[in-house]
Amino acid sequence: MRNFFSRLIKDQKGMSFFIVCVGITALFGMTALVTDFGRISLARQRLVNAADSAAMAGARDLCFISDPLTRELEARQRAIDVAKANGAPEEGITVNIENYKVSVDAEQDVNLIMSRLFGVTQRNVKAHAAATVESVKSYLGIAPLSIKDQTLEYGQMVTLKFGSPNSDTPGNFGALALNGRGSMNYEYNLINGSQETVTIGDVLETEPGNMSGPTEGIDERLSRCTDGCTFDNFRPGCPKILVIPMHLDDPQGRDTIKVTGFAAFFVDREATLCQTDEIKGYFVQMASTGSTDSNKPIVSLYDAKLVE
């Protein structure tokens, strides 16, 4: 039996050697594929994540930077920084900003290990992402006030609650009755923001009368800012920011308005020299149905959204 096997081995030595060679080559080939495939997949996934994050960060900057001169530059730089921070090599990052859309392309040459045995040293991987800016259609926490839908300039001072005497809006000083009527309800909403989500197209009831006492509740709200925010330097979400619905109606006394958009104002009663029954604010952000894609207002009530 032993002789049989040794003869068999001897006879088939040449053939065996050939089979072994083919086997080893195949094994190396498989290993190369598996090892390098893993490296390529990892690199590609990292690039995809980097491009997605970069596009979103750039689009958010387009929302939040008010200065049109620096907006695109800063958004582009932010996208590059975020892509780098997420592992994309700087030389492979391309950022394009057009019409409030931030496109990010990232590419990278991945060095291969096992595939070098077959003369393949590198593989180029690519990722693409794009994010755009879309307006906020709903808002939770509006102040119980409203203004006419209008084109506003960043920093423009706007009267949000008229004082007395009030000639513009008979019997209506700008107050809203949100989830309930009356001065207590109005004051609560002024201090805390409405607890109900309001969506563009919603019809809201106005609260007639000057409401001079409850309007002073605004001072309690403003005192809740603990960061010393000013118009030039405020924290997003600061209590001094009032988000207010806009409309195209002429409410008379207890009436209704239809919400066409939202605008945000930084309120500083001392700086705006308000009477106690008045509220004025500096316009900072807007989302309006009246805006067109090519000419969006300078905004922050927009949010970024990944589209590619």
Taking residues 251 to 290 in sequence order and writing x for each that binds Zn ion by CB under 5 A, - otherwise, the string is ----------------------------------------
- What is the layout of strands, in order, in the sheet containing 241-247? 147-148, 241-247, 261-267, 279-288, 157-161
Query: Which residue of 110, 238, 271, 306 would you call a contact of Zn ion, by CB under 5 A?
Result: 238
Sequence letter at residue 72: E
- Which residue's CB is nearer to Zn ion, number 40 or number 225? 225
Q: Give 228's DSSP letter.
A: -
Nearest distance from C-beta of residue 303 to Zn ion, angstroms = 21
- Which residue's CB is nearer to Zn ion, number 40 or number 238? 238
Nearest distance from C-beta of residue 238 to Zn ion, angstroms = 3
- Which residue's CB is nearer to Zn ion, number 238 or number 307? 238
Stretch that binds Zn ion, among 83-91, 121-129, 148-156, 228-236 (CB under 5 A): 228-236
Query: Which residue of 57, 198, 229, 287 would you call a contact of Zn ion, by CB under 5 A?
Result: 229
Q: Is residue 231 at the binding interface for Zn ion, with CB under 5 A as the rule?
A: no
No. of helices (H) and no. of strands (E), the chain: 6, 14
- Which residue's CB is nearer to Zn ion, number 227 or number 293? 227
8 A C-beta contact, residue 234 and residue 266: yes
Nearest distance from C-beta of residue 45 to Zn ion, angstroms = 39
Nearest distance from C-beta of residue 76 to Zn ion, angstroms = 29
- Which residue's CB is nearer to Zn ion, number 111 or number 223? 223
The beta-carbon contacts of 230-233 under 8 Å, at least 24 apart in sequence, are 230/268, 231/155, 231/266, 231/268, 231/271, 231/282, 231/284
Burial class (CB in 10 A: 0-12, 13-18, 19+), 302: buried
Distance CA 290, CA 299 (A): 13
Q: Is residue 225 at the binding interface for Zn ion, with CB under 5 A as the rule?
A: yes
- Which residue's CB is nearer to Zn ion, number 76 or number 240? 240
Partnered with residue 147 across adjacent β-strands are 246
Q: Is residue 227 at the binding interface for Zn ion, with CB under 5 A as the rule?
A: yes
Question: How many residues make contact with Zn ion (CB under 5 A)?
Answer: 4
Quick one: tokens of 51?
A: 């491009």
8 A C-beta contact, residue 293 and residue 100: yes
Nearest distance from C-beta of residue 235 to Zn ion, angstroms = 5
Residues that bind Zn ion (CB under 5 A): 225, 227, 229, 238
